[in-house]
């Protein structure tokens, strides 16, 4: 079995390759060739945390994986990651575990890749300006994903703590084409008003920008909230969106607070949900149809993404001889 650290995972798979893996996973999810049981959650209320188990199998890709992920709100104060995760990749033919890999970065990578797929299908082709709300690990991969599918000339980043924004800029600027600007924004409105693409990747329980600030033709990726009572994006954004797109109907209707709160308040109805992103990727429904429509993609995360990206990471790690080969058991002689 191959053991892959976070460094191995980061080295193994590029964002463009992750986007392609997740694109295929979304298609499998929306066309019925993925087996994705509901994720099981264990609330850890006294520790301000939740631990989830997320199994998934993609029949076409032959990718079978289980992710165990814990989200603890108090960890940043302990100088620990808010999200910790482990992914086990399994050979579907034999049931043998073939790899164990760090799942915190994998989660950020596959979430960013999901927004990359949605941005490619829904954002204007001539998009040049993007806004990132948040400055954590998830925000970083959102920026990288958008830069992978559109010729963005300028990113504006807003977060509650300016020092985190500066740290994100210092980390990512050297990785991008020198012609791309990454600038801090003083407010959400400053970041959003002229943006063609907006990515919200925060831990906020309340809306992080006003939908009134969106310009015609804007595309919004919302990935931060994953609980039914947490609303990262306001009702006005949902009202203005001509296409509301989700990663999974089942997951969205159970967990997407952005949608559930808006439905409960009468701002939208369940019938306003246009499509799963996999339906658009599979050409079953059209994506953006004109330059003025506002589009919105909501992701609560899906094990199909984890399985696809874990499988791709393992293949690349084997090709590059990354990680450590270990033996869990030895047959009796």
% of the chain with per-residue pLDDT over 70: 99
Give the torsion through C-alpha atoms of 43, 248, 94, 8, to 10 deg: -70
The reply to whether 10 and 123 lie within a common domain is no
The reply to whether 73 and 147 lie within a common domain is no
Does 333 fall in a domain? no
The reply to whether 224 and 92 lie within a common domain is no
Residue 331: the pLDDT is 58
Does 282 fall in a domain? yes
Residue 229: the pLDDT is 85
pLDDT tens-digit series, residues 258-274: 999 999 999 999 999 99
Residue 333: the pLDDT is 43
**CA dist 103 to 3, 5, 12, 17, 239, Å?**
12, 9, 13, 17, 35
State which residues form the domain around 71.
2-107+304-325
Report the domain count for the chain.
2
The reply to whether 9 and 78 lie within a common domain is yes
Active site residues: 67
The reply to whether 94 and 213 lie within a common domain is no
The reply to whether 49 and 147 lie within a common domain is no
Does 331 fall in a domain? no
Q: What's 62's domain CATH number? A: 3.30.1780.10
Residue 330: the pLDDT is 65
The reply to whether 226 and 236 lie within a common domain is yes
Does 24 fall in a domain? yes
Q: Cα 245 vs. chain centroid, distance in angstroms?
A: 14
**CA dist 285 to 74, 227, 270, 274, 333, Å?**
42, 28, 18, 9, 58
The reply to whether 135 and 269 lie within a common domain is yes
Residue 325: the pLDDT is 94
Does 21 fall in a domain? yes
Q: Return the residue matching tokens 């927004």.
A: 115
Q: What's 209's domain CATH number? A: 3.40.50.720
| Helix ranges restricted to H, the chain | 6-12, 15-31, 104-122, 137-149, 162-172, 188-192, 235-240, 249-255, 257-264, 277-281, 303-320
The reply to whether 70 and 92 lie within a common domain is yes
* CA–CA gap between residue 262 and residue 234 (Å, rounded): 8
In the chain, % helix, strand, coil (3-state, to 5) comes to: 40, 25, 35
The reply to whether 57 and 148 lie within a common domain is no
Low-confidence ranges of the chain (pLDDT < 70): 330-333
Q: Which two tokens stand for residue 73?
A: 């709100």
pLDDT tens-digit series, residues 273-299: 999 999 999 999 999 999 999 999 999
Residue 8: the pLDDT is 98
Does 332 fall in a domain? no
The reply to whether 9 and 34 lie within a common domain is yes
The reply to whether 22 and 136 lie within a common domain is no
Q: What is the pTM of this model?
A: 0.93
């Amino acid at each position: 079995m191959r053991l892959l650290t976070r460094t191995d995972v980061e080295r193994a798979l590029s964002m463009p390759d992750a986007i392609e893996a997740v694109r295929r996973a979304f298609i499998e999810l929306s066309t019925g060739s993925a087996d994705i049981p509901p994720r099981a959650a264990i609330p850890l209320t006294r520790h301000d945390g939740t631990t989830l188990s997320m199994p998934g199998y993609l029949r076409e890709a032959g990718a079978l994986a289980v992710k165990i992920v814990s989200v603890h709100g108090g960890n940043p104060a302990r100088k620990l990651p808010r999200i910790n995760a482990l992914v086990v990749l399994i050979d579907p033919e034999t049931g043998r575990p073939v790899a164990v890999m760090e799942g915190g970065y994998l989660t950020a990578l596959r979430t960013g890749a999901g927004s990359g797929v949605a941005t490619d299908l829904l954002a204007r082709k001539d998009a040049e300006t993007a806004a990132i709300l948040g400055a954590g690990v998830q925000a970083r991969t959102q920026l990288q994903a958008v830069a992978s599918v559109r010729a963005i000339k300028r990113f504006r980043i807003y977060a509650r703590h300016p020092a985190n924004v500066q740290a994100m800029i210092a980390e990512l600027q050297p990785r991008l084409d020198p012609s791309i600007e990454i600038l801090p924004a003083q407010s959400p409105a400053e970041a959003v008003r002229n943006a063609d693409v907006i990515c919200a990747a925060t831990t906020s329980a309340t809306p992080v920008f006003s939908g009134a600030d969106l310009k015609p033709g804007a595309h919004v990726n919302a990935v931060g909230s994953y609980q039914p009572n947490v609303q990262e994006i306001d009702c006005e954004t949902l009202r203005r969106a001509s296409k509301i797109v989700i990663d999974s109907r089942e997951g969205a209707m159970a967990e997407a607070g952005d949608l559930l709160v808006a439905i409960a308040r009468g701002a939208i109805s369940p019938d306003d949900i246009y499509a799963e992103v996999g339906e658009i990727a599979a050409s079953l429904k059209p994506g953006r149809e004109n330059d003025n429509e506002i589009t919105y993609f909501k992701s609560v995360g899906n094990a199909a993404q984890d399985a696809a990206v874990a499988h791709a990471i393992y293949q690349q790690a084997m090709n590059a001889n990354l990680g450590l080969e270990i033996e869990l058991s030895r047959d009796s002689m």
